[in-house]
Chains A and B, each alone.
Chain A
Amino acid sequence: MSASQNKSSRNLRAWVALVLLVNGFFPAVWILFTSLKTETELTQTPITWWPHAPTLANYTQAFTQQPLLHFIGNSLEIAIGSALLTLVAATGAAYAIARLKLKGRGLILTGLIAVAMFPPVTLLVPLFETMRALHLLNTVLALMLPYAVMSLPVATLLLVSFFKDMPQELEDAALLDGCSRLGALWRVMLPLAAPAVFTAGILAFVNAWDEFLLAQALNAAPDHRTLPVGILFYQGEFTFPWPVISAALVVAIVPLALLIVLFQERVTGGLMAGGLKG
């Protein structure tokens, strides 16, 4: 019985892996192939999958037509900054709501989440006015602050749900051992919530990395353009050069993806090793 079960389970795993990989990689691989094609090849029918005559010319163009590395740098700076801001604000708020017996905490949580629930597209003009009043237009903060707000609800809620489920005894033990509340949060609760904190961080990071509307309105100066805004500058009034844009997307995605994967591996690995045994 166990042999056949093992075999079917191995088959199942192979299918799971295949579906996950195709689902995740197909569009990215398609972009990669496109970045190696010429514009002429793209207009062929029937379409080609594998590039006929692979060329790196699109990559040269991606780097020479626009300051691509600069865009990536801007996006990284803003995304990391806003993710950190989000984490600071969300961790504090989540701990307060989940672990401290605050009066009306349900209301606070709902309020926190509600206020940030306006569709960003409707807030463009007033946000622009706010940032102008603060003299933040065309600075990294003009985007970091609204992005942090954008991710605050999801990060807070995620952390609340984690903090709530943590055994009270762990924290009490830390308090007994002479830790202050903050010390307990920092030394006991946070390491235990590492996967949640990390996930919240990634969520905030990618939210910021993805965002287009605010980035276009609040940071339009060429020096401050983020990646989504910058990449659209490869197009002309009427033309959309997929090969060059694909090349730019590949350049933008590859290092980011590697970074996230390596980082995640370390954090979750650390958790498995230390967290739950402590």
Chain B
Amino acid sequence: MTTTTRARPPSATLSTPRTVARPRKLRALNDQLLGWLLLLPAVLLLALAVVYPVARLLHDSLFDIQLSGAAPVRFIGLQNYQDLLADIDARRAAGNTLLITLITVPLSLLAGLLMALGANLNWRRRWPIRLALLLPWALPMAFSGMIFAWFFNSDHGVVNDLLQRLQLPTVRFLLSPFWAPLCVCLATIWKTSSFVALILLAGLQTIPRELHEAAEIDGASRWNRFWHITLPLLKPSIVVALIFRTVSALQTFDIPYAMTQGGPGHATQTLAMLINTTAVDYLNVGYGSALAVLLFAVSLGISALYLRHVYQEAQ
């Protein structure tokens, strides 16, 4: 951090003491006011598009609402949540979701980091690399899933075609309870690592080049420079990527939905897919809402954990 001051304009260094001398109270009050003013657009947006839907979801989760007419609508308190604990489908979906999260989050973070480092090298032509970084992202999620399903198809897929050309045995990837989740993970990593790379690339670009140059002059190796300069300065960006990658992994829906429809058996059915099935196909709105609240609580818990960590670091 100390080296940052080198980039600091000289006038700023001079001015610091004088700022402190200003009337602090007035400024603090103004800051509070301005702060809330600046927060207003965000708060308005949230109020408009989130408050009612979320309240409705919480409300519905306390009721037995089965549109199939299996039972009359009635208030059942926390019964839906109690049922959750004993539901093997929910447990299986939670397990699958956890597996996808544990595999894809670290790997897409790693892949994204490598991609960002690669893209941040001093290329003569930057655009092909940038484009390569962005293309997976410009392909809508639902289509990425379909394309990967096609790649892994037993008879028409590229992967088996390659295996055949290399004289290796072909595999029915999407029909195997072992391979299918891994294929879903691979597609997810491919699709999401460019999101990570983008965030990290922005972080890399704000690291002053002078830092690296100074370290190079001091004789620091490439690895040392990465470990002692790049990585610490990149940490805030990594945390941001980590939070959102984790939450989006917990909410995985489109890719397995397009690739396997949750099969074989239910080997790739995630919680978000189960919620969708419960609410849209089974019309079991109350229970579906409880599942959604559960997923939300887990997402929230994890991001709060990260955030606390960030704030403890900062203070």
Contacts and interface: CB of A to CB of B under 8 A. Distances in A.
Nearest to A19: B118
A273 interface: no
Given A116-B46, A271-B205, A242 B150 contact: yes
Contact of A172 (B12, B46, B247, B296): B12
B39 A167 contact: no
Given A20-B118, A149-B50, A167-B12, A121 B275 contact: yes
Given A21-B132, A161-B240, A198-B202, A113 B307 contact: yes
Interface in B216-262: 236-237, 239-240, 243-244, 247, 251, 253-254
Contact of B12 (A43, A173, A265): A173
B201 A28 contact: no
Contacts of A172: 12, 15-16, 19
Contacts of A271: 205
B121 A45 contact: no
A92 B38 CA distance: 4
Interface residues of A, number: 107
A122 interface: yes
Interface string A12-32: 010011011101110110110
Given A118-B292, A130-B48, A165 B236 contact: yes
A157 interface: yes
Interface in B145-196: 146-148, 150-151, 155-158, 161, 164, 190, 194-195
Q: Which 4 A-B pairs have the closest CB atoms?
A: A24-B132, A169-B12, A126-B53, A122-B292
B161 A199 contact: no
Given A17-B129, A170-B9, A47 B161 contact: yes
A29 to B, nearest CB: 9
A117 B36 contact: no
A103 interface: yes
B288 interface: yes
Interface string B275-293: 1100100000000110010
Contact of B45 (A123, A152, A181, A212): A152
A212 B141 CA distance: 8
Contact of A27 (B15, B136, B157): B136
A176 interface: yes
11 contacts: A13-B121, A28-B139, A92-B40, A100-B35, A119-B251, A126-B53, A202-B198, A231-B140, A249-B139, A265-B127, A278-B9
A115 B118 contact: no
Nearest to B144: A27
Contact of A21 (B54, B128, B194): B128
Interface of A: 13, 16-17, 19-21, 23-25, 27-28, 30-31, 42-43, 45-47, 85, 88-90, 92-93, 95-97, 100-103, 106, 108-110, 112-119, 121-123, 125-127, 129-130, 134, 145-146, 148-149, 152-154, 156-158, 161-162, 164-165, 167-170, 172-173, 175-176, 181-182, 195-196, 198-199, 202-203, 206, 209-212, 227-228, 231-232, 240, 242, 245, 249, 253, 256-257, 260-261, 264-265, 268, 271-272, 276, 278
B42 A90 contact: yes
A260 to B, nearest CB: 6
A129 B56 CA distance: 11
A196 B255 CA distance: 28
Interface residues on B, range: 35 or more
Contacts of A126: 52-54, 56-57
B304 A115 contact: no
Contacts, number: 297
A20 B308 CA distance: 34
**Chain B interface, DSSP helix/strand/loop, else mixed:** helix
A119 B251 CA distance: 6
Contact of B244 (A46, A125, A153): A153
Given A92-B39, A106-B311, A145 B49 contact: yes
A116 B9 contact: no
Interface string B22-57: 000000101110111111111011101111111011
B135 interface: yes
Nearest to B201: A199
Contacts of A148: 45, 49
B116 to A, nearest CB: 10
Query: Which of B132, B194, B199, B202 is most buried by chain A, counting CB atoms within 10 A of its CB?
Result: B202
Nearest to B134: A260
Contacts of A95: 38
B272 interface: yes
B53 A130 contact: yes
A118 B296 contact: yes
A20 B111 CA distance: 10
Contacts of A108: 39
Given A31-B139, A118-B296, A169-B8, 20 more contacts: A20-B133, A27-B139, A42-B156, A46-B164, A89-B44, A92-B38, A96-B34, A123-B53, A129-B56, A145-B49, A149-B46, A157-B243, A164-B314, A169-B12, A172-B19, A175-B19, A210-B140, A256-B138, A261-B130, A271-B205
